[in-house]
Structure 1
Amino acid sequence: MTSIAAADALGNPAAILRRDARTIGLVGLVHGTSHFFHLLLPPLFPHFMREFGLSYSQLGLLVTVFFVISGVGQALSGFLVDRIGARPALMGALACFVAAALLAAGAEGYGGLLLASAMAGLGNAPFHPVDFTILNRRVSTPRLGHAYSVHGISGNLGWALSPIFSTELFALTGSLRWTYAAVAMVALLVLAIVWWRRDDLDDRAALRRSVEPAQGAVPAGGQAGAQASAHASAQAEGASASTFGFLRLPSVWLCFSFLFFTTSALAAIQSFASPALQLLHGVPLRWSAWVVSAYMVCGALGMVAGGFLLARAERLEPLIARALMLAGSFLVLAAMPWVPGWLALALVAAAGIGTGLAGPSRDMLIRRAAPPGASGRVYGLVYSGLDLGFSVAAPIFGWLLDRGQPAGVLLGSALALVAAVVASALVGRHTARGAASRAPASA
């Protein structure tokens, strides 16, 4: 996978640092915006029930519509990113968010909310292929771990800020229209910033620079060697001859399953940790309602540390395994009936540290599994596992609560993390085999 860093190896370190920082900050901003719009409608569900007479099943369908469209669109948008570039896809996605908020502002019933949810899902679809294509091509390799940390942290912050923003604004104005008009302005402001700083998000310029020899450097073989090197790099990036070849790689599907399992665990915590702790330990709603926010904050702290650990780690799989097993152990302990309620709350929150620690290494693991020229397609397919995890896991864990099995929510989340550990180990094995098989040819 090419990177702008390859062309800047002899450049000014301070200038490269500034460029990396601008790109990382902008990608973090847009990723936080995408997570902000994950929760476009759910924080105001109680209002929709009163205003439009909706049931919980109808509200649940709004979430399903979002993630189904986002998941299918994410797998397809990877092809779009590889064809037209990440930056145009990003601007189109932000425009969809503006439209989704305006549709929600004008909704006069369930149909309008369905349209708003569908448009938000369409806007969310390109973000992972877009984000990681830009980061992998523009950010210097030594800073990629920190870039992935910022990417993950910004997503958690978007999740945390969205319900506060919409519920507080609605409480202040009492108006659905004004609330969602303000949400639309958020997306419009981010779109304006992206347009203003568009040169810092130009993945195509990074690609062109990475296939050109560094100034004053001539590869082995002289000028003919330089031309052959550039031609080979261009061929690697132009995947027209093997558009769907990446689908035959076991590592890609194992990465997909890894995202599916980790997101299934997250879905259990986000949706049902609060009622599960109430039923298991008698924790008051006032306290259990904060467990998701605490989990996200701990996850953000874990991602900061995970970026530094990634920069020093020689192998990713052991780091991922230890972090996720730590999180799973905390969740299993929190499910035990003899644990005091306050400790169960602390354990669930602390589990976020483990999943956060694994986040940057997870993104690097997927980067290594992606073949040259197919980064957008691979990230699009792999991260559609995230949407599938949310879509599938929430009904299953809800069913467990309906059956009077609150411990199953925490234990099931821990089991999903164990499955993710197995998937990451298999990814590493297949990636290492692929590297070994290519070594003789490149020697």
Structure 2
Amino acid sequence: MNSSSTAHPLPPVAFRQDASLIGLVGLAHLISHFSQLLLAPLFPWLKDAFNASYAELGFLMTVFFVTSCAVQATSGFVVDRFGPRPVLFAGLTLLGIAAFGYAASTSYWMLAFFAVVAGVGNGVFHPVDYTLLNRKVSAPRLGHAYSVHGITGSLGWALAPAMMVSIAFAFSWRVALASAGVLAFAVLAVLWFQRERLSLPAAPRPVSGGSAQPTENPMAFMQIPAVWMCFGFFFFYAMALSVVQAFAPVAAGQLHGVPLALVAVCLTTYMLCAAGGMVLGGFLASDPARCERVVGVGFGLAAGVALVLALGDVPAAAVPVLFGAMGFTSGIAGPSRDLLVKKSTPENATGRVYGVVYSGLDIGQAIAPLIFGVLMDQGQFRGVLLGLALVQLVLIASAFNVRRVRRTVVVPVAST
């Protein structure tokens, strides 16, 4: 089998059909990212309600991402076996149950249990989403599909703190989390009524009835070097994202005397500008041959901005602007980043490959706080931003290394 998934181009598809599928998948992806940040904005309330330390509350996020990583690495096999739609519905259901579970929790360990439930639900989305997009969206619109997918994820991250904090102030943290559960089930209802647009048979399975029909080894894709290079790329991508989300705004604020109100604006500016960059990135990804160059330029510029924040004499008012620039350039690379994986994916193994590759995201998000949190505790704010720039430069090397190792691979098969 060829390692490329472009051996059989998709026939032309009506714009409305593509757009509706992209919109539905994007809506589900928004809820996935939204659910990742349900607890963190409520830490001040949860700390008092459960008499827990910030370290204990942070451990809930580790539980979530470790569980999501394990599920993501295995759920791709389920997607390839049974099709993406039932797995998607199960994931959304679990996220809704977890949100209501958080709201009803009476102890720290109840929160931890529902963090596991939420991690299981979150772990299915990337294998589901990319299987639907890669197999149902027409090739000329695939770059735009990746763009919308990334934008909706960023919007989910932006929505969570705004919604959770606002409702917690107006009512209580329990009402805020219950509202998140209502939102998850509302989206599930929308997708249920549009379920025919999400229908997709399971990946074809080789016939094993005779010696002339060997059975493909379902683990053979793991022997493709480019798959593991993609895994490494997403590991470092998640580290960079985690630093931006958790530490970089505060570190830059400490270095440049930024008022607390402006520090809070930095992350929102980054996310909104990243969404804008993804729109442009969708057009640049229309030519898969240049995806490594787009990733290289995008993260190269982002690393340059991080270095300016680390080493330059920057006015406080300019810091949010620089975070916006870093978000925009990173966003440009987003759709081409997803094409790196598609170009390395064997036919009929989309769910499995994306499950393994994107588990690198969860591992990176689980490890980065352990490293950069120590730097923050030691007051090494410049080191945090230099580390961010270094990780972004590693992403450039990783992207071109994916291209270097990508080659036509004869996938081993198991005898029948």
1:363 is paired with a residue whose SS is: helix
Partner in structure 2 of residue 202 of structure 1:
199
Structure 1: any 5+ residue segments left out of the alignment? 209-229, 233-237, 439-443
Q: Does the 8 A contact of 1:2 with 1:137 survive in 2?
A: no
Partner in structure 2 of residue 400 of structure 1:
375
Matched AA of 1:300: A
The answer to whether structure 1 residue 177 and structure 2 residue 185 are counterparts is no
1:203 is paired with a residue whose SS is: coil
After superposition, the Cα gap between the structure-2 partners of 1:366 and 1:85, relative to the gap in structure 1 and judged at 3 Å, is same
Deviation at 1:268, TM superposition (A): 0.5
| Residues 90-148 of structure 1, C-alpha deviations (whole Å, 9 max, x = no match) | 00000101110111111112011111211111110010000000000100000000000
Matched AA of 1:173: F
Q: TM-score, normalised by structure 1?
A: 0.87
The structure whose residues are more often helix, as a share, is 1
Deviation at 1:339, TM superposition (A): 2.3
Q: Larger Cα Rg: Structure 1 or Structure 2?
A: 1
Q: Between the two proteins, what is the percent identity of the paired residues? A: 44
Select the residue among 145, 152, 155 that pairs with 1:154. 152
Deviation at 1:239, TM superposition (A): 10
Deviation at 1:172, TM superposition (A): 1.3
Partner in structure 1 of residue 64 of structure 2:
66
| Residues 276-326 of structure 1, C-alpha deviations (whole Å, 9 max, x = no match) | 022211111111111111110110000000001111463211111011100
Separation in 1, partners of 2:389, 2:192: 42
Select the residue among 362, 366, 378 that pairs with 2:353. 378
Matched AA of 2:122: N
Q: Does the 8 A contact of 1:277 with 1:341 survive in 2?
A: no
After superposition, the Cα gap between the structure-2 partners of 1:50 and 1:89, relative to the gap in structure 1 and judged at 3 Å, is same
Give matches, 1:264-413, under 5 Å. Answer: 264-312=239-287, 314-413=289-388
Q: Does the 8 A contact of 2:31 with 2:156 survive in 1?
A: yes
Structure 2: any 5+ residue segments left out of the alignment? 208-212, 412-416
After superposition, the Cα gap between the structure-2 partners of 1:239 and 1:196, relative to the gap in structure 1 and judged at 3 Å, is farther
Matched AA of 2:397: V
After superposition, the Cα gap between the structure-2 partners of 1:72 and 1:240, relative to the gap in structure 1 and judged at 3 Å, is farther
Matched AA of 2:408: G
The answer to whether structure 1 residue 434 and structure 2 residue 408 are counterparts is yes
Higher relative contact order (CA 8 A, sep 6+): 2
The answer to whether structure 1 residue 8 and structure 2 residue 11 are counterparts is yes
RMSD between superposed Cα atoms in Å: 2.2
1:75 is paired with a residue whose SS is: helix
The answer to whether structure 1 residue 57 and structure 2 residue 31 are counterparts is no
Separation in 2, partners of 1:339, 1:382: 37
Deviation at 1:345, TM superposition (A): 2.9
Matched AA of 2:351: G
Q: TM-score, normalised by structure 2?
A: 0.92
Give matches, 1:202-241, under 5 Å. Answer: 202-204=199-201, 241=216
Deviation at 1:240, TM superposition (A): 5.3
Matched AA of 2:355: G
Partner in structure 2 of residue 139 of structure 1:
137
Partner in structure 2 of residue 218 of structure 1:
none
Aligned residues: 403
